[in-house]
């Protein structure tokens, strides 16, 4: 947890600086947080997703290549993020490929030009000052013949929840909406 404490201090400094525009603070903060979460779980940064409430939908803050994607309706029954948000409960599924879920975002090409399917995922709601604000999901993706990596564990899910609780206020501080 010392690593998250160092990140929190870095984010506090970043958010309070006037040297960068709001857009630049957002970009730097989201890159740092996504990188931190990716490192914590042995992922690529493209396997971290942050969705934030905008009206009656959830919009992608991260990964940046999904920021212009269609939003996810909070009432959606097939979107895992919407289910996490509505219920405020944790989610862990190491066999996501077998579950009915919204897959359209999995076919969006990533920064490297490849589209990879999500095989394993865990996620938690982001709550700030007692209000549900968004969702953070981490996943293990794979290409056609790649290995999706180890299963997520209940201990991983507990760690994600603790990290998101610490990082949630900083996501809110830089979110553009």
Whole-prediction pTM:
0.91
Q: What is the pLDDT of residue 97?
A: 77
Superfamily of domain 2-174: GAF domain (3.30.450.40)
Q: What is the pLDDT of residue 67?
A: 85
Whether 150 and 36 have beta carbons less than 8 Å apart is answered as no
Q: Give me the residue spans of the domains in the chain.
A: 2-174
Beta bridge pairs of residue 105: none
pLDDT in 10s for each residue of the chain, 177 residues: 679 999 999 999 999 999 999 999 999 999 999 999 999 999 999 999 999 999 999 999 999 888 888 899 999 988 999 999 999 999 999 988 776 655 555 555 666 667 678 889 999 999 999 999 999 999 998 866 667 789 999 999 999 999 999 999 999 999 999
Q: 3: which 2 tokens?
A: 């690593």
């Amino acid at each position: 947890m010392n690593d998250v404490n160092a990140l929190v201090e870095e984010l506090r400094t970043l958010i309070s600086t006037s040297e960068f525009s709001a857009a630049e603070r957002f970009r730097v903060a989201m890159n740092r947080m996504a990188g931190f979460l990716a490192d914590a779980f042995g992922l690529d940064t493209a396997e971290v997703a942050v969705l934030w409430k905008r009206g009656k939908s959830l919009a992608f803050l991260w990964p940046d290549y999904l920021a212009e994607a269609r939003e996810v309706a909070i009432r959606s029954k097939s979107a895992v993020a919407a289910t996490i948000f509505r219920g405020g409960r944790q989610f862990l599924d190491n066999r996501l490929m077998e579950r009915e879920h919204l897959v359209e975002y999995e076919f969006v090409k990533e920064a490297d030009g490849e589209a990879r399917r999500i095989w394993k995922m865990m996620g938690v709601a982001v709550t700030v000052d007692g209000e549900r604000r968004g969702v953070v999901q981490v996943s293990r993706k794979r290409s056609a013949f790649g290995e999706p990596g180890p299963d997520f564990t209940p201990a991983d899910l507990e760690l994600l929840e603790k990290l998101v609780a610490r990082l949630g206020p900083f996501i809110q501080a830089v979110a553009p909406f």
